[in-house]
Structure 1
């Protein structure tokens, strides 16, 4: 499997600018990669403004990136500020967007207390394993590795 790791200067708290950047980057990778790994909180940076920046799984970030995955025929993984089902709380929500349009999600389980993540995000409790092109991939976000 051909994997592309993206380490970019995220435009702070500006999802639209970051999505435009990813679109131009991924367009140039068509046919050259199978899976693109974007940074944690790839459209906002590590912001704690969860009330203003949280999005549902069907809002702009996931819809736009899923469209890119389908159009460029590659899987895209990363995380964003995901709105909890109660419409109030937030998760650091990991996503895995398949080139056939399927979407998988997993909320970060081990929040980074020293970065005040515990004051702004709920911890997840699922362990998501994704099958993609013959590989089983566990969706983890940063501090979940411990």
Structure 2
């Protein structure tokens, strides 16, 4: 089993509330990626932008996007992860999907809905965390506003990689940078943050700052423009630093109730 995980971070503009156009654009990007990639990370709500009017999106688009993710994962022999608007019964969710090349899928509903934008009034909040074992790495994916709540991301399971997919606006980008780095340091894990660029229909500007941090908080990659960023995660780096520093052994012990 390899001790490395090769990842691609897709930082791109999004077409407002247009799943077909966004899938087509992302498909062109994904098909151009190297065949050596293990994991492709897409932004939050990558088929629509951060919309508070999910009823504008045809209900079947959620399933169509999951099927598209399965097709892309199979073609590239890589996992895809990102969140979309997903309708289920009477509820809408900001739902993250982790799709593997063998068509195995898992999902996570955003726990911390963004009250400042009224997301809590439109989308149903999740209650459960998701831990993925993929190609020798334990991966813990979260969504945007979750970044502000360190208890929810607390590394009690010994995960190796913490992922945040986001639509994080330029006016608060300093918080994004600082909190991603902090999550890496306090959890002694690689942290991946993928944000979008461009402007949405509410007039919010997005400047990317997608990045990867190692377990000591060092920046491996970061960009402010539309691009694909590449990084290689090394399991030996995690194990060596945790064995040397042992900070996780001193964490406070408590139970999280939701």
TM-score, structure 1 normalization:
0.92
Gaps of 5+ in 2: 150-258
Q: For the structure 1 residues 124 and 102, does the alpha-carbon distance in structure 2 shift closer, same or farther, using more than 3 Å as the test?
A: same
Q: For the structure 1 residues 70 and 83, does the alpha-carbon distance in structure 2 shift closer, same or farther, using more than 3 Å as the test?
A: same
Shift of 1:83: 1.4
The structure with the largest strand share of the pair is 2
1:100 corresponds, among 89, 99, 102, to 102
User: Secondary structure in 1 aligned to 2:97?
Assistant: strand
Shift of 1:32: 3.3
Using the alignment, how far apart are the partners of 2:58 and 2:36 within structure 1? 32
**Within 5 A, what are the aligned runs for 1:78-97?**
78-84=82-88, 87-97=89-99
Alpha-carbon RMSD across the aligned residues, in angstroms, is 1.5
Tell me the matched-pair count.
Answer: 144
Using the alignment, how far apart are the partners of 2:27 and 2:64 within structure 1? 13
Shift of 1:69: 0.6
Gaps of 5+ in 1: none
Query: What residue is the counterpart of 1:143 in the other structure?
Result: 145
Using the alignment, how far apart are the partners of 2:117 and 2:8 within structure 1? 27
TM-score, structure 2 normalization:
0.53
2:67 corresponds, among 63, 66, 84, to 63
Q: For the structure 1 residues 14 and 58, does the alpha-carbon distance in structure 2 shift closer, same or farther, using more than 3 Å as the test?
A: closer
1:27 corresponds, among 23, 28, 31, to 31
Query: What residue is the counterpart of 2:50 in the other structure?
Result: 46
